[in-house]
Structure 1
Amino acid sequence: MALTQQFARVTPEYLERCRASALDSPGGVPNWDPPAEDVLDAGWAVWGLIRHCRGSGAAPGTAALLERAVSGDPDGDVGFLDHDEVYDGFADPPRLLGPTAVADIAHGLDAIDAVALLADLPASPAEAAAMCGFGPEFVGDIRAHLASHLAAMRQFYREAAHRRWCVIVWVD
């Protein structure tokens, strides 16, 4: 099974209900089940975009912004989500981005010019895929793939910021 980047946008109140559930249940079950429309599976695309940013002429802040968007902040108190009901336990436990961080990330994502960012990808699909860390099994237009996932992440964060919600990030 492939690892993929997961995002969930939730209210602070929802997180508190999950925390209370985890504290009240013998197995620490948080009753984590955000609605499907508030969950985003970004596959491997964001990691490829980050790798491209590091290896290209992208502004250093772009890679840092994307890394924060997928890694969360280390000081969020969501240890109760370190449960197999939430993720498979293979990678780091879920991390939190609070409403202020979400707004900052949404603003930063909106400022990225995707066309300019992806302009220096090699013309060869195989070379472009390799530059982004995707193996030779990648099929398709790498620019379109990365641009569509960036657009989805941008919209996801924009909506979370508009609602003043949190975003939980993890790899599953």
Structure 2
Amino acid sequence: MALTQQLARVSLQYLDRCREAAASAPDGDPHWGPPGEDTLDLGWAVWELLNFYRWAQPDSRNIGILERSICGDLNTPVAFLDHPEVYDGFDGPPALLAPATVTEVARALAAMEIDSLLATLPAYREVGGFSAFAGDPGTYLAEHFALLRSFYGIAGRQGMAVVVWVD
């Protein structure tokens, strides 16, 4: 089973409905199921991009931006999503980024340029990065970063929250 980074754009009203469903269901099922167009499976790309930044530019503020985009805010309660119908329980339960924070993250991701980072990819591969990767990891990272940026851009423009988890 491969673990991948998952994201979902949701309204606060949708989260309220899931919270109410979890509270009234005997098994706590929140009836989670955002539409497919509001979900994103980033695979493992963002984790490798974070490792790559830590290696190439350990003082980069982009590390914190990427971390926040996939870790959520721990002080925003979505404990009702800690349920097997939402995620497999391997990693921590889902976390939330509130709409105002989503807008901040979207702006920060929009300002990020990863081209200079990707230029150091050959040296990174020589020290063990992407050791089991077949194909062009630069293209893979660039494409998945573009997906992350677009996903947050849409969420920010629509005033939506983002739920993040590993499944």
Shorter-chain TM range is: over 0.9
The secondary structure found in structure 1 opposite 2:135 is: coil
Give the root-mean-square deviation of aligned CA atoms.
1.4
The letter for the 2-side match of 1:142 is: P
Task: Extract unaligned runs of 5+ from structure 2.
Answer: none
The letter for the 2-side match of 1:6 is: Q
Q: When the two structures are superposed, what TM-score results if normalisation uses the length of structure 2? A: 0.95
Of residues 110, 128, 135 in structure 1, which corresponds to 2:131?
A: 135
CA distance in 2 between partners of 1:96 and 1:51 (Å) = 23
Shift of 1:116: 1.7
The secondary structure found in structure 1 opposite 2:105 is: helix
1:70-124: per-residue Cα shift (whole Å, max 9, x none)? Answer: 1111111100000001000010000000001100110010011121221111168
The letter for the 1-side match of 2:131 is: G
CA distance in 2 between partners of 1:58 and 1:121 (Å) = 15
1:40-94: per-residue Cα shift (whole Å, max 9, x none)? Answer: 0000000000001111126521011101101111111100000001000010000
1:107-146: per-residue Cα shift (whole Å, max 9, x none)? Answer: 010011121221111168x538x32xx332x111111000
The equivalent of 1:90 in structure 2 is 90
The equivalent of 1:34 in structure 2 is 34
Task: Extract unaligned runs of 5+ from structure 1.
Answer: none
The equivalent of 2:148 in structure 1 is 153
Deviating runs (4+, > 4 A) in structure 1?
none
